[in-house]
Chain A
């Protein structure tokens, strides 16, 4: 492997761990990011000449720490942090000289970092971007595209969030064990937001965040060893993996979008479905149901079509009922209407759909797509055309738009 590739790989694998470890002690995220950036630059200069160190990560921590100490001496504003840094430097020296492998020896502080990114005082919409950047090292431009935001605006918001963490001295401390379930909730929300938060296949296919799916699953798996008794962590993973299993089945060879109930299930990825089912099973053992477990269970019922050849819509409708009771989000309300329509007829589904306040649904694509579908089945042609038109106008993905146009043409 080329030196540059080694550095790149090290950066990708270790970035979040390095950043979290240093930030927990130094508490100035921006300064730590700069220091790590400098450390990677130094590696690019030094490694080709001196060779790749035995413990590249420990080398990088040492280099980054040195930058931080230099900076502190130069600016004299952070001298109170010097004792901590000097203690860390001893740590790092011990690491470099010890024979143990990096992963066992290096405290993994990424969970603390995730708790910090989802701290109640951090603006809810900035939690996912902050987590993507600090834990995974994803750059602001890519995050901005995933959230359809101006890149310079995203950068400014990230910088402001980091400044807030420093200014308000937000704590990096781990919550008490009894607080963990409550503090996990926003972490799970943030990971789910990275996944794309779609209630159905069309919403996922239509989401600009579908490119972050692997990263979201990575974050979910990262969380697992830290919260082995929290069923919602397993539920979220099961949900994401079930959806991921259908990635290739979502479009045919010509690129046409295929809705879930018409997908060729032999194109689903078995390995991911089994993994999802294992997580869901583990979650159910805890005996504490939650929204992610319910959403995963809905996907699990769909996955059963592979074995049974049919979709148990009544079971799905019942799961949605539970979901709506737990959290009546717009997506859950629309999903329930769809399932009830399939199980008991469109006239039952449309009653639930029309009960959703129209000001909430005005720009919500899945609402209009379902309305078009149900009106069409009920032979209310005029309303069907109008609803499909709204759905097409609100879609961002060309394949979803074309699918809806084909449905519209069939009226």
Chain B
């Protein structure tokens, strides 16, 4: 079964991506984690996402289309990346979520592709 791990990052995490003092540590955390996932042979797809302020959000209000700068919703923690993994159950997916170098990870099962 395939599950998507959604990694939520705080403003501080996003800042660490570009802060010369913290960048190396921050990136290393991900490198090691992603490596462990690959070695376990469960990765389907994964990608980090650029910071939320680079986002554009399309919203429709009563048939009218509004495009705005920034993420949706505007909260303290924002989606920072996703990883789709192939594991037997949600327990195993959560076990991998617990190893991530961030404090909030949402786990959801992927809907199987329609053929």
Residues of A within 8 A of B (CB): 148-150, 153, 208, 362-363, 389-390, 392-396, 398, 401, 405
The answer to whether A396 touches B99, judged by C-beta atoms less than 8 angstroms apart, is: yes
Q: Which of A150, A394, A398 is the one whose CB lies under 8 Å from B36?
A: A394
The answer to whether A153 touches B98, judged by C-beta atoms less than 8 angstroms apart, is: no
A77 to B32, CA, bound (A): 57
Residues of B within 8 A of A (CB): 25, 28-29, 31-37, 39-40, 90-91, 94-95, 97-99, 101
Q: Which of A148, A362, A389 is the one whose CB lies under 8 Å from B98?
A: A148
| Chain B residues, CB < 8 A from A389 | 31-32, 35-36
Residues A405 and B98 in contact in the complex (CB < 8 Å), given A150-B90, A394-B36: no
| Chain A residues, CB < 8 A from B101 | 398, 401
| Chain A residues, CB < 8 A from B31 | 389
Q: Which of A390, A394, A395, A405 is the one whose CB lies under 8 Å from B28?
A: A405
New A-B pairs, 18, CB < 8 Å, besides A390-B32, A393-B99: A148-B97, A148-B98, A149-B94, A150-B91, A153-B90, A153-B91, A208-B98, A362-B40, A363-B40, A389-B36, A390-B35, A390-B36, A392-B36, A393-B32, A393-B35, A393-B36, A394-B36, A396-B98
A-B contact count (CB 8 A): 48
A266 to B61, CA, bound (A): 65
| Chain A residues, CB < 8 A from B32 | 389-390, 392-393
The answer to whether A390 touches B95, judged by C-beta atoms less than 8 angstroms apart, is: no
A250 to B43, CA, bound (A): 34
Q: Report 15 cross-chain contacts, Cβ distance below 8 Å, ordered by A residue.
A: A148-B91, A148-B98, A363-B36, A389-B31, A389-B35, A389-B36, A390-B36, A392-B28, A392-B32, A392-B36, A396-B98, A396-B99, A398-B101, A401-B29, A405-B28
Q: How far is the CB of B102 from chain A (nearest CB, A)?
A: 10
Closest A residue to B29 using CB positions: A401
A322 to B31, CA, bound (A): 39
Q: How far is the CB of A302 from chain B (nearest CB, A)?
A: 27
The answer to whether A394 touches B99, judged by C-beta atoms less than 8 angstroms apart, is: yes
| Chain A residues, CB < 8 A from B40 | 362-363
A359 to B101, CA, bound (A): 24
A58 to B91, CA, bound (A): 40
Q: How far is the CB of A324 from chain B (nearest CB, A)?
A: 26
A148 to B39, CA, bound (A): 22
Q: Which of B25, B33, B90, B95 is the one whose CB lies under 8 Å from A393?
A: B33
Nearest 3 CB-CB pairings of A with B: A393-B36, A392-B32, A393-B32
